[in-house]
Chains A and B, each alone.
Chain A
Amino acid sequence: MDILGQLITSFIATGAFGILFNVPKESLVKCGLIGMGGWLIYYLLEGYTNDAVLGTLAATIFVAILSQELAKFYKTPVIIFVVAGIIPLVPGGLAYDAMRHFVENDYNTALGSAAKVLMLAGSIAFGLVFSEVVNQILRKMSERRSKV
């Protein structure tokens, strides 16, 4: 029951952010589904291992690979799907938490949260770059094979 609520809310939240970022209308539902898939992976992994970085990394790689395939299929820029997909994963809440503790003069807690924000944002960025690199390697290999 809990997970059903998470699925529905992540779908709606991603779609709503798609509207704010002016995603083309025909891609809105796809964006919502990608965001939902990414959030499901994150939610389950984070629940089992209690490690947010691992969950974020796995979810980002899923989102990035799926986005690249969809972008090739629908001939739209990858950024549309990627942005929507990582919206639920992005550590906005933690960034806010860190800033709040800073302005409340609670520097120890704030530094901890800020470091966590950097780790999470870094793992998202790493996941995106990683899947892009894998994609490029695969493309180059298939090009070489077709030449031979």
Chain B
Amino acid sequence: MGNQVEQANEIIDVCLLAGKIMLQSGGETYRVEDTMMRMAAAFGIKHSHSYVTPTGIIFSSEGPDPSITKIVRILERTTDLKKVALVNSISRKICSGDLTLVEAKKELMEIDSRDLSFPFPIQVVAASLASGCFMIMFNGVWNDFIPSMITGGAGYLGFVYFHRFVSIRFFSEFLASFIIGLLAFIFVKLGMGQQLDKIIIGSVMSLVPGLLVTNAIRDLMAGHLVSGLSKGAEAFLTAFAIGAGIAVILRFF
């Protein structure tokens, strides 16, 4: 009996770990719920409930022994699609019976502790390339390509560095967009850039919460009302931070 409870506890821990990694890496709400329940079913817990919001997961199992409920708090959320893919393939293996509970736990812990993202310099280069390209896609002129690359790269660099010192996302976004506005303004004043608006729009694209807005509406449509609303609030705050950072520049000059 005690052994069985122990086993159920272990299973729930593994499910929660998988759910936590997915949610922190930007997995969709319904996918996190679905993955956790599938994993639990594959390990022998037939009836389980999961409740996922962007800031926490509640998972509960029903069985002959007293049902167990556990909760995990999510503080930091980023987008790391590689981790989502890795956890997904682990859950696939569990469902087909290729992975035991102990092995799954070991692999998930390894994924959780590792930093799989691209090297930081490459990320900055990618952000600046994206800024330049977005400027063109918004019908900018090719003369502004280099200025918007530089402002976009500097903005992303600033965002990541500020975020290391200030753990409040709002302020790092505000400061990053302030840098972008300032640099774009200087470029235009020096005559190296032509359209201030296009340079700024292209450069803030790596910070802007467009994806978050879309995910929020999608969650709302799918019936995940709490996570939809909270994602919408997060998106609004980010947009406000960016707009405020740029507005300071536009006001003073």
Please determine whether B130 and A13 come into contact, CB atoms closer than 8 angstroms. yes
Please determine whether A5 and B118 come into contact, CB atoms closer than 8 angstroms. no
Q: Shortest beta-carbon distance, B121 to chain A, in Å? A: 11
Q: Kindly state whether residue B59 has any CB partner on chain A within 8 Å.
A: no
Complexed CA–CA distance, A103 and B181 (Å): 14
**0/1 string, B151-169, CB within 8 A of A gives 1:** 0000000000000000000
Complexed CA–CA distance, A102 and B28 (Å): 31
Give A17's nearest chain B residue, CB to CB: B130
Name A6's contact: one of B28, B136, B247 (CB within 8 Å): B136
Which label, helix, strand, loop or mixed, suits the secondary structure of the B interface? Answer: helix
Give A11's nearest chain B residue, CB to CB: B133
Chain A residue numbers with a CB within 8 Å of B31 are 77, 79
Complexed CA–CA distance, A87 and B46 (Å): 38
Q: Shortest beta-carbon distance, A4 to chain B, in Å? A: 11
Q: Kindly state whether residue A95 has any CB partner on chain B within 8 Å.
A: yes
Chain A residue numbers with a CB within 8 Å of B27 are 77, 79
Name A76's contact: one of B85, B132, B213 (CB within 8 Å): B85
**0/1 string, B208-235, CB within 8 A of A gives 1:** 1111011011100110000000000000
Q: Kindly state whether residue B126 has any CB partner on chain A within 8 Å.
A: yes
Interface residues of A in 122-145 (CB under 8 A from B): 122, 124-126, 128-129
Q: Shortest beta-carbon distance, A115 to chain B, in Å? A: 13
Residues in chain B within 8 A of chain A (CB atoms)? 26-28, 31, 79-85, 88-89, 92, 116-118, 122-123, 126-127, 129-130, 132-134, 136-138, 142, 200-201, 204-206, 208-211, 213-214, 216-218, 221-222, 239-240, 242-244, 246-247, 250-251
